Each structure stands twice: as structure tokens, then as C-alpha cells.
Chains A and B, each alone.
Chain A
Amino acid sequence: MAKPRTLYDKIWDEHLVHEAPDGTSLIYIDRHLVHEVTSPQAFEGLRMAGRDVRAPEKTLAVVDHNVPTTDRSKGIDDPDSAIQVEALAKNAADFGIDYYHELDERQGIVHVVGPEQGFTLPGTTIVCGDSHTSTHGAFGALAHGIGTSEVEHVLATQTLIQQKAKNMLVRVEGKLPDNVTAKDIILAIIGEIGTAGGTGHVIEYAGETIRDLTMEGRMTVCNMSIEGGARAGLIAPDQKTFDYIMGRPRAPKGAAFEMAKAHWETLFTDEGAHFDAEVVLDAANLPPIVTWGTSPEQVVAIDGHVPSPEDIADETKRQAAVRALDYMGLKGGEKITDIALDRIFIGSCTNGRIEDLRAVAKVVEGQHVNENLNAMIVPGSGLVKLQAEEEGLDRIFTDAGFEWREPGCSMCLAMNPDKLAPGERCASTSNRNFEGRQGRLGRTHLVSPQMAAAAAIAGHFVDIRDLQ
């Protein structure tokens, strides 16, 4: 009998083009997503070497990082951002790559667009010059972020040089309490394993709780795999996955869909397959999670307190905590629900999908944003925006005092004009609370959309479970 294999093993084996005796492997890449920030130097490299794009039909380009989220029909004010956006348009045209420009309704954050278009399919290998490419693992695709040199390598050869990673299993069991979400699951996992816990591994998320999540929820979990150090996260595809894909513009149709589905149904970890590491999380007692520091592993329950450095035994971690508290303007010991906020950011490739917006609308309907803060909602794509408007969510948001913006990465990384001023404190549904991430000296607390929404109304963090 064949040796039992993990889902990662199966996808790896199916994409192995060549393996050298030392294990250095050439892996075929089925799908390549390209955005404006990490690609210009790659295209320049191709031109300088006189190389072509090997498979333009397997490549999709979209602008997301730089674009303003205000009306952009009259162009982009920031000259450097405008140059990057123009460069992508030109590169896509020159090399024959499909491109969604800033006014195309299909434009959006690359990791929202891929699944939405049916470009993301189970069992495929997907790369992008962006670490949150791990998002696509929610479909049972082996998806990870790469650097610009590798972007050029994939453009030229449709392959990537890799060493096989180890397998890690994260099993999540139990029924999630109301208003505790996929975001809380992944923040809790990162809190448990640390930001380097997954380094060198591909994480497979499994268990009853993961199966119960919607595709949007699964994408939120896989999205932040990189914050746990893993380049890729995977969830075995199931009927929910197939239902999500069916009918999408780039998904296989008719007989091809049925043939594909038969293959996708073989994409699961075999009984008895070996994992190098295993972690179990009990979701039934999971509280909403808030980050207090400047690393995604610095998490605490909503009903908890900011830790005091003297409570941290490990000397290196204690020093990191001292620095983080100083940066965050916290002393340690504060009740999380006492922390007042200046800004709210709802959006990003982690939590900028329709389900996230519906959850926010449910919390804020008929209420008003606290007068001491500014709150912004940035849909993940033009199609998410249209869908939300069709459902009347935009009216709920604007009536409640939220800004309703055009799609893009926005204040998740603050490359466009959306950023925190020094010292401003933000509850954000994005994925990174690093120093300066949302603007120089800005202070970020990562939370779920529901928690961000409730904080927007109250002006400080609240335990969403108390609102029922």
C-alpha cells in the first residue's frame, strides 16, 4: 500500500518538475497573481535579459496596494504611486497579461480577487509577490508569498525552486461561541505557536470548527498563516469549496467542472499521514481576541488585561514587551475594555469580504460611531462593494457615520493616503500590528470585524459577547 500522505505532500508531488539529489526541487506554478509594488523590478529583469512571460494565461495582474480609496476617476495624486500603477498597466499590456485597473469593478485586493474570479482552484499551486498569498490555501491550494526575484523566475519559467517544507497540523475542535470568529481562531493560534512557530512548515488547519467555517472564514484563517511564520496554510476542499467556486468567471464549467471536482475530492490528508508538529485548539471556550503589542503573537482575551513586563519570564520576550508597551503607549495592567480608540479600520485581505461587512452591519445598524473617533470601511474588491450596496449595507454604514471607501489594501499597510497620524490608536481588522505599519508611530490593535464594529460605536473595546 502507498505511504499515507498529507494534503501538502499530495499537491507537492503533483507539481514536482524536477528534484536534484540534494532535495532542491523545481515546482510547477499553476497560478501567478501580480500587483504593482513587488513586480516592476521583475518585469525590468525580463526585459534586460530579453525573456518573455512563459504562461501569461496563468498570470493575473491587479492594482491594490497604492490606489487611493477615495474617488480615483481623476487619477492618482501621489506621483510615485501613479508611476507604479502605470508601470503595471504597461507591463501587463507588453507581456499579454490580463489586468484589472483601478476603475475596473473586478479590481480589489489580489487575495480577494483571485477566489472571487475562480482563478483560485483546489490542488493548484499559487504564488504572488505578497506574503498574504497564504489566503488561497483556504481552497486546498498550495499558495505562498515570494520575493520579486522569484516573481521574475515564475514569470520566465512558470516554476519555482523550492525545498520541501515540513508538515504541521493545527486541529481546531468545538463549536465557536456566538460572535467569536475565524479571526479570533487564527489570533489565538498565533498567540499559541508564536510568530516563528510555523517557520519551515506548511500548516494544515483541520477539525470540526474549521469545517464549520464559511469559505470567507477559512480565508481569514489561512491569510494569517504567515503571521505564525508559515509560508502557507491549507484546508482540505469540501462541498462548501466546490459550491463557492461553481459559476465563477474563471472556474471550469460543465463537464470540466465535474472532472475537476472528482480530482478535488481526492485532496485530503490520508489516515495515518505523518505531521512533524501538531497543535490543538479548543474553540468552544474561545473569547474574542485583541492584540496589545507590536507583534501578532502579543494577544490577549477581550476580558483580560494588558500584560505587565514583570509577568513575562523569558528575558528576550520581556524586553520585546517593554519596547512594545512603550510604542503602544500602554503601561501594562490596563483592562482591555478600558482602552479608548481614535480610529477604526475595517477591510484588508484578512477581513474585507462580504461576510465581514454583513457582520459589521449587524452590529452597527441603527447606531452611531462614537464622536471621538473616525471609522472607515474599505471593501476588499469592487465586486464586494457592489454586493454590499445591493444589500443596502452601505446605507447602514454611512447612516452610522462610517466612511464607505473604494476597494484596495488601504490602511492595512498605509501605502496610499489612508494612514494613522503619530500616536493615533486604531482597532483594525487587518493582519499586522508592527511598529509603523498603519502609519509612522500609529498604534494598531488587531481584532475581528465584529469587535472593530462594536468598538467604533463605544469608542473603546467592548466584549462583543456582552452585547447580545
Chain B
Amino acid sequence: MEKFTTLTGIAAHLPMINVDTDMIIPKNYLKTIKRTGLGEGLFAELRYDENGQKHEHFVLHKEPYTNAEILIAGENFGCGSSREHAPWALLDFGFRCIIAPSFADIFYNNCFKNGILPIVLPQEEINKLIDDAERGDNARLTIDLEAQEISGPDGGKIHFDIDPHRKRCLIEGLDDIGLTLEKAEHIDRFEEQAGTVRPWV
């Protein structure tokens, strides 16, 4: 997993609530056995019509947002299906950070496994960032994960909270499985004990 320390990039605003993972990556893109190459399917039904023609008004078709790395979204972003293809598609398009008032649990969790930083902020803070994101070439934000701080183009700073364990994993690019395997003796002991208490399992 790629480390996440600081990021300066274009922020795009998607003004919708309850964006579900079917919308982030429609099912016809799920028939892959790889993690890569899903960027073309990102928001496919919002970006293209049935004949594959671009919906020109969609934010990710407009400059400079074709190169966006930060997405500012509405509440309950990523609800629905557990498909990790959603963060894979966002990552493949170039997104490393999603900012929203709230996220659905599974999607939120999946982001961290892929080096994407999901940031939860109150709506009023998000409204400031939306203003920033609507400044075209100036729509650049800097995310400093170590300092837990977002800086806007005018130098204004917004603090965000994050679980310390997840923060460390992102900054160091840690492999969860590797970390857990360091606790193998705890797992062995648990299995041994559970085997006596609940042998039918």
C-alpha cells in the first residue's frame, strides 16, 4: 500500500448525498479479477450516457478537475454494497482523499486498506472547502495527515480527527495482515481456548 503523508491536489465537488457504491462503480465493472484499471468505470453512469458519450457537465470532465485528487462529497458517501472496487476505482482515477460529512462504514474502512484518506468534517467546514473547490485552477488543497490539517488556497486551515491506529497505518503504508501475523500467538491461544469452550464451532 502506498504511504499517505501529505497531498497537495485539485479538489472536485460532487454535490449529492447518499452516493452509493453502485454509483461509484457500476456492476458491469465488477467482473474483473484484478484491482487495477477500474478508473474508467468510476461514476460511469454519471460520466457517460448509454452510448458512451460524455456528460460534459459532470465535474470530472471539466478542467482542472480531470486531474482531481481530492473529492468533496455529501453525507453518507459510499453506502450500499461492500465492493472494494469503489475505492480501487477512485484510486485508479487519481483520488487519494475523500472529504465528506459522513461515510458508510464498510466504504470508510475499505479506503484505509488502499491508501486513501477519508476525512469526516462538519458540514460548515465542508462548505468552506466547497468554495475552494469551485475556484477552477485555484481549487487546490493541501492535506497534512501528520498534522491532521487541511490548508486551502487562501491559507485557511481546518483540523480533522482520525483514529490513531489508522493514521499510523496510512503514514507508514503498513500491511494489516503483516501486523496481525505478529500477534499469531494470541490467535493460537484463542483457538485453543475456544476449542474447549465452544468445540461445536
Q: Which residues of A contact B (CB under 8 A)?
A: 17-18, 20, 22, 24, 26, 28, 30, 37-38, 40-41, 44, 49, 51, 54, 65-66, 78, 80-81, 83-84, 87, 121, 123-124, 129-131, 144-150, 152-153, 156-159, 161, 163, 195-196, 199-200, 226-227, 229, 231, 252, 256-257, 259-260, 263, 295, 316-317, 319-320, 323, 413-415, 422, 432, 434-437, 440-441
Closest to B34 in A: A41
Assess whether B198 is interfacial by the CB under 8 Å rule. yes
B50 adjacent to A229 (CB under 8 Å): no
A17 adjacent to B82 (CB under 8 Å): no
**Min CB gap A359→B, angstroms:** 27
The contact sample of 29 A-B pairs, CB cut-off 8 A, is A17-B187, A22-B163, A22-B165, A26-B186, A38-B84, A40-B32, A41-B35, A49-B177, A78-B31, A129-B84, A130-B81, A131-B106, A145-B106, A147-B84, A149-B110, A149-B113, A149-B114, A149-B176, A157-B180, A161-B180, A196-B104, A199-B105, A200-B105, A226-B80, A229-B104, A260-B198, A316-B17, A413-B27, A436-B23
Assess whether B183 is interfacial by the CB under 8 Å rule. yes
Cβ contacts under 8 Å, B50 to chain A: 422, 440-441
With A17-B190, A131-B81 known as contacts, the answer to whether A26 contacts B198 (CB < 8 A) is no
**Min CB gap A86→B, angstroms:** 10
B31 adjacent to A415 (CB under 8 Å): yes
Give the CA-CA distance A22 to B165 in the complex, in Å.
8
Q: Mark B165-186, 1 if CB is under 8 A from A, else 0.
A: 1000000000011011101101
**Min CB gap B26→A, angstroms:** 6
Cβ contacts under 8 Å, A149 to chain B: 84, 110, 113-114, 176
Give the CA-CA distance A311 to B137 in the complex, in Å.
39
A41 adjacent to B33 (CB under 8 Å): yes
B187 adjacent to A159 (CB under 8 Å): yes
Give the CA-CA distance A65 to B27 in the complex, in Å.
10
Cβ contacts under 8 Å, B149 to chain A: none
B1-38 contacts to A, CB under 8 A, are: 16-18, 20, 22-23, 26-28, 30-35
B165 adjacent to A24 (CB under 8 Å): yes
Q: How large is the interface on B (under 10, 10 to 19, 20 to 34, 35 or more residues)?
A: 35 or more
Assess whether B109 is interfacial by the CB under 8 Å rule. yes
With A196-B75, A229-B79 known as contacts, the answer to whether A28 contacts B187 (CB < 8 A) is yes
Give the CA-CA distance A22 to B22 in the complex, in Å.
33
A145 adjacent to B187 (CB under 8 Å): no
B79 adjacent to A163 (CB under 8 Å): no
Cβ contacts under 8 Å, B17 to chain A: 316-317, 319-320
When the two chains form the complex, which single residue of A87, A153, A435 contacts B177, counting CB atoms closer than 8 Å?
Answer: A153
With A41-B35, A229-B105, A414-B27 known as contacts, the answer to whether A195 contacts B187 (CB < 8 A) is no
A153 adjacent to B31 (CB under 8 Å): no
Give the CA-CA distance A260 to B201 in the complex, in Å.
9
B180 adjacent to A159 (CB under 8 Å): yes
B106 adjacent to A146 (CB under 8 Å): yes
Assess whether B83 is interfacial by the CB under 8 Å rule. yes
Q: Mark B98-115, 1 if CB is under 8 A from A, else 0.
A: 000011111001100110
B30 adjacent to A415 (CB under 8 Å): yes
Assess whether B144 is interfacial by the CB under 8 Å rule. no
Give the CA-CA distance A227 to B18 in the complex, in Å.
11
B102 adjacent to A196 (CB under 8 Å): yes
Give the CA-CA distance A116 to B132 in the complex, in Å.
54
Cβ contacts under 8 Å, A144 to chain B: 106
Nearest 3 CB-CB pairings of A with B: A149-B113, A80-B31, A40-B33
With A195-B76, A196-B75, A436-B22 known as contacts, the answer to whether A148 contacts B84 (CB < 8 A) is yes
Cβ contacts under 8 Å, B92 to chain A: none
When the two chains form the complex, which single residue of A37, A84, A432 contacts B80, counting CB atoms closer than 8 Å?
Answer: A432
When the two chains form the complex, which single residue of A37, A199, A316 contacts B30, counting CB atoms closer than 8 Å?
Answer: A37
Cβ contacts under 8 Å, B181 to chain A: 156-157
Cβ contacts under 8 Å, B35 to chain A: 41, 148
**Min CB gap A150→B, angstroms:** 7
* Residue among B83, B105, B163, B184 with max Cβ neighbours from chain A (10 Å): B105
Cβ contacts under 8 Å, B200 to chain A: 121, 252, 256-257, 259-260
**Min CB gap B44→A, angstroms:** 9
A123 adjacent to B106 (CB under 8 Å): no
Assess whether B155 is interfacial by the CB under 8 Å rule. no
With A83-B33, A129-B82, A252-B200 known as contacts, the answer to whether A17 contacts B165 (CB < 8 A) is no
A195 adjacent to B18 (CB under 8 Å): yes
Closest to A46 in B: B177
B27 adjacent to A415 (CB under 8 Å): yes
Give the CA-CA distance A342 to B114 in the complex, in Å.
41
Q: A54-B187, A317-B17, A422-B50 are in contact. List 5 more A-B contacts (CB 8 A).
A: A121-B201, A131-B106, A149-B110, A157-B177, A413-B22
Give the CA-CA distance A401 to B199 in the complex, in Å.
49
Assess whether B74 is interfacial by the CB under 8 Å rule. yes
Closest to B18 in A: A295
Cβ contacts under 8 Å, A260 to chain B: 198, 200
Give the CA-CA distance A156 to B176 in the complex, in Å.
11
Give the CA-CA distance A22 to B163 in the complex, in Å.
9
Closest to A17 in B: B190
B116-134 contacts to A, CB under 8 A, are: none
Cβ contacts under 8 Å, B82 to chain A: 38, 129-131, 145-147
Closest to A55 in B: B191
**Min CB gap B110→A, angstroms:** 4
With A17-B190, A121-B201 known as contacts, the answer to whether A26 contacts B163 (CB < 8 A) is no
**Min CB gap A178→B, angstroms:** 32
B31 adjacent to A66 (CB under 8 Å): yes
